[in-house]
A and B are shown apart, each in its own frame.
Chain A
Amino acid sequence: MATNTVSETAEGLSLRQSRPRYGEKIIRFILALAAFVSIFTTFGIVISLLIPSIEFFMEVPITDFLFGTVWTPLFKNGEFGVIPLLSGTIVITLIAIAVAIPLGLGASIYLSEYASERVRKVLKPTLEVLAGIPTVVFGFFALEFLTQAILIKIFPEIEVFNALSAGLIMGVMIIPTIASLSEDAMAAVPSGLRDGAYALGSSKRQTAIKVVMPAALSGIVAAFVLGISRAIGETMIVTIAAGLQPQLSFNPLMGMQTMTSYIAAAGSGDLATGSIEYKSIFAVGMLLFLLTFLMNIFSIRLVRRFRQAYQ
């Protein structure tokens, strides 16, 4: 057999490409272009953030920016300490996490381990619809309904714009992200592991918590990170419901400004291009970008490790 093939080739059986395949090359180019668009955009964003940020840091020392506790960009001799914006972001994100992680994880365990096929088929898409509601709707819901109709009765001293309502509603907003991705991770756990757990006399709860969840852990953590990134980057809800007062406070009943709502508010105002206030938008944007970028890298790593676990 083998010698036969060799001799045929030697006798001139041509294995070279018989005609050029231009279509193939064009398709390949278009597909590559599609893949590179997002990379180019990311680079574009980084560069457009970087230049004004560098200009900003030539006027405001980076240590003043990172460690300063007063943010008054619109005052004469305004101060640019980003800590109040950072604390606002952190407080609201923590409230959102406190809502979204238990509920999202609970929903995902229910969907993947307890719900019947029929219930899951209805419930999962319904939950995912939540993710499709525009955030501006969530924002008004937080301000008009949650604060005015509920929170004010529980905490009479609450401010109209407050971190609590924004955080709670933001938590609700990211539940679908966390629930849906965690459910995917748990559904990907081989059923043999569940059988193994049940065969050792585990209850449903023990199987879900001691075998399925640890097996899906990196996928679940990646879902958390993605949900948290969304919370950090969320703008509309906080702008509407938490107000625009940059204050260094951990009292969730007070109004707060986050990095995103500062960017949105300042960016839509009439700041003179090239002014220091204008450049501060980019510095804050840069910080926000770096924070979410680091979180995403972290989650990609986790997801990769999660895939490796089952080869």
Chain B
Amino acid sequence: MAVETVPAELAVLLRREAMLLDQRDYHGWLDLFTEDCRYWMPVDPDAADEPDTLCHVFDDHARLTDRVWRTANGAHTEDPPARTARVLGEPVHLARDADEVSCFTPFLLLYSRRGRQETFGGSYQHRAVTTPDGWRIREKRIRLIDGQSALPALTIIF
């Protein structure tokens, strides 16, 4: 069986996405998403891919826009802001459906704020679509391996 690989431009987009977040360019990051996007993190990393489950984050484009504003400008937990550094694994192609590709990317995220360091890990599941402007993200699901553990405030964007 031929194993499909993630399109090269999409792999570049994923690395660029991580860079924008680590640089705290949240508005630039938001531009990578489609208007009908979903950005979400279920409590249970193994939860089925449907919305009938409690999530730490469940955003449509409007709520994601609010989140970007809050992380960039409003939250006391980002005053002063956290720094993050993330390391992505090689994206794995999961499925192709017409103009859409889904892929799985392991991540490790180091978090530092006011002398406290945390480590978060898990995987991203992206559903991306080709548009006249290039690849855009229609869905980003975060599987946080600590999703069911006791968590500190997580107002950074994953």
Q: Do A and B come from one complex?
A: no
A residues touching B (Cβ–Cβ < 8 Å)?
A: none
